[in-house]
Structure 1
Amino acid sequence: MVTSAMNTPFDQLIDALEREGARYRVLEHPEEGRCDLVAALRGTEPGQGAKAMLCKSKDADGQMILAILPGDRKLDFKKVAKAAGIRKATLATPEEAQRETGCVIGAIPPFSFSPAVKLIVDPELIERFDEIAFNAGRLDRSMLLASDDYLRIARPLVSPLCA
């Protein structure tokens, strides 16, 4: 994914949310990518944070999967593989994450703007909270977004992913 200065992942998010009439707000804060620390900066619960982890298939096709889970939970790679319909999943490298999402690790939002990246969200995130929080393509900007608007706009596959 190549982004120009005028079409950053942050800009793509704002455009999509505005176009779809989403209920959201943007928070500015010091740069932070760790779920627990950024939750404190946002004033949100750690589990309310949508942790985005780019995974890839170990199969020959190299399918990319953006796994979204509550910030206070751990990812189960077997559940990622099952949900994605692949044999085995692993974490993508920081370089692959930057290339596929246009974001550094810790700044990846819970949206896929690439047809090559399958988006899967753990149901616990959207069932526990009416509003999710996430870094919005930048380490110094977060968004709080109504959970039902997230589902409506992102259209992720909903499947258990947590260990």
Structure 2
Amino acid sequence: MAKKKAPAKTNAIRLVEQKKIPYSEHEYEWSEEHVGALDVAEQLNQNTSQIFKTLVTTGNKTGPVVAVIPGNQELDLKKLAKASGNKKMEMLHLKDLESVTGYIRGGCSPIGMKKNFPTYIDETAQAFETIIISAGRRGLQMELAPAGIQQLTKAKFVDLRL
């Protein structure tokens, strides 16, 4: 009987392991209809405010900017613009996500993108010992300390919620 081959490690997981940052993996059944953070929270039986989503935006001055916010919240583009030194922000077009970040919708991690883009984590992350973010593949999340994400992405903690 053939052994089931373990999925290859993602860039995000490789970087976390390289820096020896403690983390744990959470796998779940992924489907096209259930790609949001709330679906992930339900599948993993986790607190929705502890599951964070990665959103990629474009600033008129800086280009791509990454926002990591609670999955049950909406991003305030004006707050992100102010924090990142832009006058105007808009969401990156979905068709450009993979070419810009190296990740696809439903599997976009703030860690291990093609380039180190300016990254902002909502300040509420600091209230948790650990938060859960995408590990860089659909159906795979990683749980780690917000400070670990900050260390790897050089992120700033700011208020990003609407």
Task: Work out whether 1:97 is the aligned partner of 2:73.
Answer: no
Gaps of 5+ in 1: 1-7
Structure 1 counterpart SS, 2:66: strand
Match of 2:39 among 37, 40, 58: 37
CA distance in 2, matches of 1:137, 1:115: 14
State which drifts further: 14-23 or 105-114: 105-114
Residue 43 of structure 1 aligns to which amino acid in structure 2?
N
Distance 1:16 1:118, change over 3 A: same
CA distance in 2, matches of 1:120, 1:148: 12
RMSD, aligned CA = 1.9
Please show how residues 42-57 of structure 1 align to structure 2 within 5 Å. 42-57=44-59
Which residue number in structure 2 is paired with residue 28 of structure 1?
A: 27
Preserved CA contact (<8 Å) 1:50 1:70: yes
Which residue number in structure 1 is paired with residue 11 of structure 2?
A: 12
CA distance in 1, matches of 2:146, 2:117: 21
Q: How big is the shift at 1:112? A: 5.3
Gaps of 5+ in 2: 1-7
Which residue number in structure 2 is paired with residue 146 of structure 1?
A: 145
Structure 2 counterpart SS, 1:117: coil
Q: How big is the shift at 1:116? A: 5.9
Distance 1:144 1:118, change over 3 A: same
Which residue number in structure 1 is paired with residue 64 of structure 2?
A: 64
- Rg (Cα) greater in structure: 2
Preserved CA contact (<8 Å) 1:44 1:133: no
Paired positions, count: 152
Residue 41 of structure 1 aligns to which amino acid in structure 2?
Q
Please show how residues 108-119 of structure 1 align to structure 2 within 5 Å. 108-111=108-111, 113-115=113-115, 117-119=117-119
What TM-score do the two structures reach when normalised by structure 1?
A: 0.84
Q: How big is the shift at 1:33? A: 2.0
